[in-house]
């Protein structure tokens, strides 16, 4: 067997990340035929097809998925070797970190998640993808991101999870909504209420449904995929909703939104950091994990030490 080249691995990983040979070639500053040839040679040497060629995109095969984590590790280890400073010299940590964030974290807590790390490692390029918890977990399993922070429970044999901080949902209404006029509220006051919900697959939706099981029957007026869209619908008086507390601060402060007092509902939740157990923890990922652990709001509550 001929030796597998670094360029072949770069092309393989590049196609997996960018979805097409052309996008990979542009990213690596090479011609499309050269990228196609490198992939073909790699597949020939391995005796396996690594991608299914579909119209307009390349999709990893089972063998390709198995290879991807190892290929990334080889390339990352090589970059670390090349970046190792001479004795007595200093070199800034640099490279890319791909973070998956569920909607609450990505839209409202990104500063808490990233600010201190960026201050310490300004040369690291950070790419954040925001989606619901279900989709972010899929990205982790497919190695499309290096680490994730989500608000929903994650239970998967290939993933390692630890507690980052606590969070809560709050039930919100427009200040003119009838429920905003009731003091104190009781469970029976919610009979027939019109709820605006997140889409299925989101952690907020699951927790909201769990809480609503303890209330009299209402109805779901609409489902929306973005927290801000739900907030605006509530402000417009269309219905009530469970929203992340962090998403309501400004609207409550300027009087456009009211948080309903519902001590009879269990709306607390945990925000978790998740990584793939097979993901190589290079210098950048290791630095990010240690930074999160050292700045966690409740370090004694971590469920696991993954350093």
Tell me, what's the pLDDT at 80?
Answer: 73
- pLDDT category, 190, cuts 50, 70, 90? very high
Q: For residues 233 and 244, what is the distance between their CA atoms, to the nearest angstrom?
A: 15
Tell me, what's the pLDDT at 77?
Answer: 83
The H or E element spanning position 51 is strand 51-54
Mean pLDDT along residues 92-104: 89
Tell me, what's the pLDDT at 64?
Answer: 92
Name the architecture of domain 6-83. Orthogonal Bundle (1.10)
The angle formed by the CA atoms of residues 262, 169 and 216, to the nearest 5 degrees, is 45
Tell me the per-residue pLDDT of 199-236, one tens digit each, with 9 for 90 and over: 887 888 888 898 889 999 999 999 998 899 999 999 99
77 vs 176, more confident: 176
SS3 15: helix
Ordered by start, the domain boundaries in the chain are 6-83, 95-166+270-301, 168-267
pLDDT at 90 over 60: no
Asked if 95-166+270-301 and 168-267 have one fold, the answer is yes
132 vs 2, more confident: 132
Backbone angles phi, psi at 30, to 5 degrees: -135, 170
SS3 126: strand
Mean pLDDT of the chain: 88
23 vs 143, more confident: 23
Give, to the nearest 10 degrees, the angle between helix 227-235 and helix 245-253.
40
Q: For residues 154 and 134, what is the distance between their CA atoms, to the nearest angstrom?
A: 9
Percentage of the residues of the chain whose pLDDT score is greater than 70: 93
- pLDDT category, 87, cuts 50, 70, 90? very low
Q: For residues 147 and 140, what is the distance between their CA atoms, to the nearest angstrom?
A: 7
Tell me the per-residue pLDDT of 10-63, one tens digit each, with 9 for 90 and over: 999 999 988 999 999 999 999 999 999 999 999 999 999 999 999 989 999 999
Tell me, what's the pLDDT at 273?
Answer: 95
Helices (H), the chain: 6-18, 21-28, 32-46, 62-83, 103-108, 110-120, 133-141, 203-212, 227-235, 245-253, 283-295
CATH number of 95-166+270-301: 3.40.190.10
Q: What is the residue-wise DSSP string for 152-207?
A: S----TTEEEEEEEEEEEEEEE-TTSGGGG-SS--GGGGTT-EEEEEPTT-HHHHH
The answer to whether the pTM exceeds 0.85 is no
Contact 130, 159 (CB under 8 A): no
Topology of the domain comprising 168-267: D-Maltodextrin-Binding Protein; domain 2 (3.40.190)
Tell me, what's the pLDDT at 79?
Answer: 79
Tell me, what's the pLDDT at 2?
Answer: 65
Backbone angles phi, psi at 256, to 5 degrees: -90, -15
Tell me, what's the pLDDT at 129?
Answer: 94
Computed from CA positions of residues 226, 161, 284, 294, in that sequence, does the dihedral angle turn out positive or negative?
positive
Tell me, what's the pLDDT at 88?
Answer: 46
Tell me the per-residue pLDDT of 281-306, one tens digit each, with 9 for 90 and over: 888 999 999 998 887 644 443 333 44
Tell me, what's the pLDDT at 287?
Answer: 93
């Amino acid at each position: 067997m001929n030796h597998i080249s670094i360029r072949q691995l770069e092309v393989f990983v590049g196609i997996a990340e960018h979805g097409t040979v052309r996008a990979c070639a542009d990213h690596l500053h090479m011609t499309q035929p050269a990228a196609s040839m490198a992939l073909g040679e790699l597949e020939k040497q391995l005796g396996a097809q690594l991608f299914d060629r579909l119209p307009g995109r390349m999709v990893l095969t089972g063998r390709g998925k198995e290879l991807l984590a190892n290929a990334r590790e080889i390339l990352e280890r090589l970059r670390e070797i090349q970046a190792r400073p001479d004795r007595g010299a200093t070199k800034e940590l640099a490279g890319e970190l791909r973070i998956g964030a569920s909607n609450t974290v990505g839209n409202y807590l990104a500063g808490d998640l990233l600010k201190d790390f960026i201050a310490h490692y300004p040369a690291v390029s950070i790419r954040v993808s925001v989606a619901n918890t279900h989709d972010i977990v899929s990205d982790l399993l497919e190695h499309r991101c290096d680490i994730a922070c989500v608000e929903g429970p994650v239970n998967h044999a290939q993933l390692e999870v630890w507690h980052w901080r606590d969070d809560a949902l709050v039930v919100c209404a427009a200040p003119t909504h009838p429920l905003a006029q009731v003091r104190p509220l009781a469970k029976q006051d919610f009979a027939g209420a019109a709820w605006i919900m997140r889409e299925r697959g989101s952690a907020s939706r699951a927790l909201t449904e769990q809480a609503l099981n303890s209330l009299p029957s209402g109805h779901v007026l609409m489902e929306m995929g973005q927290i801000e869209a739900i907030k605006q619908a509530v402000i417009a008086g269309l219905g009530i909703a469970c929203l992340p507390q962090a998403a309501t601060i400004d609207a409550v402060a300027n009087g456009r939104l009211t948080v309903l007092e519902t001590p009879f509902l269990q709306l607390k939740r945990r925000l978790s950091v998740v990584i793939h157990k097979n993901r190589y923890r290079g210098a950048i990922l290791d630095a990010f994990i240690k930074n999160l652990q050292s700045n966690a709001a409740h370090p004694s509550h971590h469920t696991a030490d993954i350093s």
